Amino acid sequence: TEELLLQSEKLSSVGKIAAGIAHEIRNPLTSIKGFLQLIADNPTINKEYLSILDSEFDRIESIIKDLLVFSKPQQEQYLHCNIVELIEQVVFLMQPQATLNNVEMITQFEEENILFYCIPHQIKQVIINLLKNGTEAIENGGHILIKISKRNNFLNLIIQDSGKGMTEEELKKLGTPFHSTKQTGTGLGIMMTENIIKNNHKGFISVESVVNQGTTFTIQLPLSLEHNEEYN
């Protein structure tokens, strides 16, 4: 069950994404408007209405937060950074959520120092997205393995979780904007991840998944793009 991501039909046009965003934001807005009307008609405090309003605002907030990552790239710079250190920072950042979900994160670095030419903020976002998905896929405790190695001029990054995995059907939909199997999911994480890896760093990403066993994301990135004029 291997599915190569980044198939051209999945790379949505700006128009398709914009339509999706409009739709995703309009739903909670419609609901907020409706409940505000109910409150206006009967202004006694109704805790249930307030909690619905609160969660609808949260929904809009998470969509906007995910989209901001997407709209930033142009302002950001390519830098030489130690990818090992960068990943250690992200693992540290994700530790509380992992602990809360009884997830052990295991890192395996081939070397202490691997210099990588990248937009650090975006690579961080990719690792956060994948670790977050891994953690969310693990229901009763488990582990996520994070492996970094260097082959020729490529960085190999493997993120493997012992979570619930994906069916063939789910694998096909992976990376489609707003496709999510989660209550509070946005279905934007994998799309952003693909965009950052493929378009901004000229890398490759693939995924293998087995239901009830887990999921493995394999990412390959050229260590240095700096000799290519396009990226200077």
Task: List contacts with Mg ion (CB under 5 A).
Answer: 133, 189
Q: Where are the alpha helices (DSSP H) in 42-139?
A: 47-71, 83-100, 120-137
Q: How do strand 103-109 and strand 142-151 relate by DSSP bridges?
A: parallel
* Contact call for residue 65 and ligand ADP (CB under 6 A): no
Residues ≥6 apart with Cβ < 8 Å to 98: 104, 105, 131, 135, 144
Within 1-40, the residues that bind ligand ADP by CB under 6 A are none
Q: Please list, in sequence order, all residues whose beta carbon lies within 8 angstroms of the beta carbon of residue 194, skipping any fewer than 6 positions away.
A: 5, 6, 10, 11, 175, 205
Q: Which is nearer to ligand ADP, 23 or 182 (CB)?
A: 182
Q: Which does 222 bind (CB under 5 to 8 A by kind): ligand ADP, Mg ion, none?
A: none
Kindly tell me which of 88 and 208 has the beta carbon lying closer to ligand ADP: 208
Q: Interface with ligand ADP includes 187 (CB under 6 A)?
A: yes
Q: How far is the CB of 99 from ligand ADP (least distance, A)?
A: 18
Q: Tell whether residue 170 is a contact of ligand ADP (CB under 6 A).
A: yes
Nearest Cα to Cα of residue 5 among 226, 165, 181, 198 = 198
Q: Which residues make up the interface to ligand ADP (CB under 6 A)?
A: 129, 133-134, 137, 161, 163-166, 170, 174, 179-182, 185-190, 215
